[in-house]
Structure 1
C-alpha cells in the first residue's frame, strides 16, 4: 500500500509533477508509510514535504480520496518487480515558488493542468490528472 498526491496551486491551475528515476517518468509525489504510520493522509503530507520542500501543503479541496490504483513497480534496489495499491489525494500549496527537490535526480516541474497529461506516460496518472482538473474546475474561478 502506498499513498500519493497531485500537488496543485489553485490560483494558477498548475499541478506539480516529480521525475521518478526508477520508473523513468513524471508522476505525482508519494510513497510508503513509515513504521507506525497508519493514516494515508499523514503519509502523503509527509512524503509531499520531503519530496518538494513545501511546508504549507494541505488537503485540497478537502481530504477526500480521489483515485485508487494498482501500480506495477519495476525491479530495483534489491526488490523484485511487484504491485502497489496506491491511494491518491490532492494537496495544495500557496507557495509554488518554494519547491525544492529532495535530490538532483528527482526533478520537479509545474505545469498547467491542461498540459500535464501530455507529460506523463501512464494512463492511470492521466486519469488522476483528469480527476484533479475537474476538481480545479469546480473549486476555482477563472
Structure 2
C-alpha cells in the first residue's frame, strides 16, 4: 500500500503541467508532499484536495454541482477521509457521494488532468486557506441516476459550451477546456 507521500509523488511525477502557473502549483504540492505532517490535513493553511469533472462520453456532457458557499457551478470533489492516500480514490469517493453515481470510473484513463492551488475564503467554521486541488475526469454510463447529495447542491448536466458559460472561475474553465478536448 502506498503512503500519502508516495501516492502524491506518483501521480504528480507522471503529470505534465501545461502552463508556467500550473508548473508552479505542482511544485507547491510536491513541497507539501515532502514536508512534515499530513499534506491532506484540513488544519494546514494549504492542503491537498481531489476533484473531478464527471462526464457522460456518449452524450458529450459534463455534470456540474452548485456550491452554495462559492455561489457557483463547480466540479465535484473535496478532502480525503482518514486512511485515504490516493488522490484518485478521494475524487472517486467524493464523486459518488456528491452525485449518487455508483458506476464512476476514471476516463479515458486514470491520469491527472490539472493541478491548481485555489484560495478558499473564510467562513464561520474555518479561516481563509488554500486547496492544492488535483483534478481528474470520471465517467458514468448512467447519467439519469445522478442525485444531489443535498437539496442546496443541485446537479446539472450541460454541454461543454453551456458549462463554460455557467462556470465563473477561470481555473475551473481551464480544467473544463482540458476535459472538452477529451470529449471531441
Question: Shorter-normalised TM-score: what interval?
Answer: over 0.9
What are structure 1's unaligned runs of at least 5 residues? 138-142
Partner of 2:150: 103
1:12-61 Cα deviation digits (max 9, x unpaired): 00000000111111000000000110000110110000000000000000
1:135 matches 2:167: no
Shift of 1:77: 4.0
Shift of 1:75: 1.0
What are structure 2's unaligned runs of at least 5 residues? 1-47
Q: How does 1:72-111 map to 2 (within 5 A)?
A: 72-111=119-158
Q: TM-score, normalised by structure 1?
A: 0.95
SS for the counterpart of 2:133 is: strand
Q: How does 1:1-142 map to 2 (within 5 A)?
A: 1-137=48-184
More helix by share: 2
**Distance of 2:179 and 2:71 partners within structure 1:** 22
More strand by share: 1
Higher relative contact order (CA 8 A, sep 6+): 1
In the alignment of these two chains, the number of paired residues is 137
**Is the contact made by 1:2 and 1:85 (CA closer than 8 Å) also made in structure 2?**
yes
Structure 1 runs (4+) deviating above 4 angstroms are none
Shift of 1:74: 1.2
**Distance of 1:73 and 1:24 partners within structure 2:** 13
Q: TM-score, normalised by structure 2?
A: 0.73
**Is the contact made by 1:22 and 1:74 (CA closer than 8 Å) also made in structure 2?**
no
**Distance of 2:105 and 2:74 partners within structure 1:** 19
CA RMSD of aligned residues (A): 0.7
